[in-house]
Amino acid sequence: MLAASGKLDRRELTRALLTDRGDMLVIAGLGAPAWDITAIGDCAENLPLWGGMGGAAMIGLGLALAQPKRKVLVITGDGEMLMGIGALATIAVQKPANLSIVVQDNEHYGETGMQETATRHGVDLVMMAKGAGITNTMFVTKPDEVPALHKAIHAGNGPFFAVAKIDATSKPLVLPPREGALLQARMREAVMGPAAHHQL
Partner 1 sequence: MDQHSIDKAPDAAADWPDQIYSLLKTHNITQVALVPDAGHSRLIRRCLADNEMTVVTLTTEEEGIALLQGAWLGGAKGVLLMQSSGVGNCINMLSLSIMHRCPLPMLVTMRGDFGEFNPAQVPMGNATQTVLEAMGTLVHRADTPEDIAPTVNATIRLAFNTFRPTATLIGQRVLGAKTFGKD
Which residues here bind partner 1, judged by CB under 8 A? 25, 27, 47, 49-67, 70, 84, 86-87, 89-90, 93-94, 180-181, 183-184, 187-188, 191-192, 196, 199
**CB closer to partner 1, 140 vs 183:** 183
Strand pairing partners for 140? Answer: 164
CB of 70 vs partner 1, minimal distance in Å = 8
Q: How far is the CB of 160 from partner 1 (least distance, A)?
A: 17
Residue placing its CB nearer to partner 1 in the complex, 41 or 86? 86
Closest to partner 1 by CB, 49 or 166: 49
CA angle 48, 74, 47 (to 5 degrees): 20
Nearer to partner 1, 33 or 84 (CB): 84
- Cβ distance to partner 1 smaller for residue 64 or 163: 64
Phi (first) and psi of residue 41, to 5 degrees: 155, 110
Residue 146 C-beta: closest distance to partner 1, Å: 26
> Burial letters for 3-32: b for 16+ Cβ neighbours within 10 Å, e otherwise?
eeeebbbbbbbbbbbbeebeebbbbbbbbb
Q: Which of left, alpha, beta for 193 (phi over 0: left; psi -120 to 50: alpha)?
A: left
* Type of residue numbered 49: L
DSSP per-residue letters across 121-150: GT--HHHHHHHHT--EEEEE-SGGGHHHHH
Cβ 101 to partner 1 shortest distance, Å: 13
Lateral strand order in the sheet of 136-140: 46-48, 25-28, 72-77, 99-105, 160-165, 136-140
SS3 32: helix
In angstroms, what is the minimal distance from the CB of 57 to partner 1? Answer: 8
Give the shortest CB-63-to-partner 1 separation in angstroms: 4
Q: Which is nearer to partner 1, 4 or 200 (CB)?
A: 200
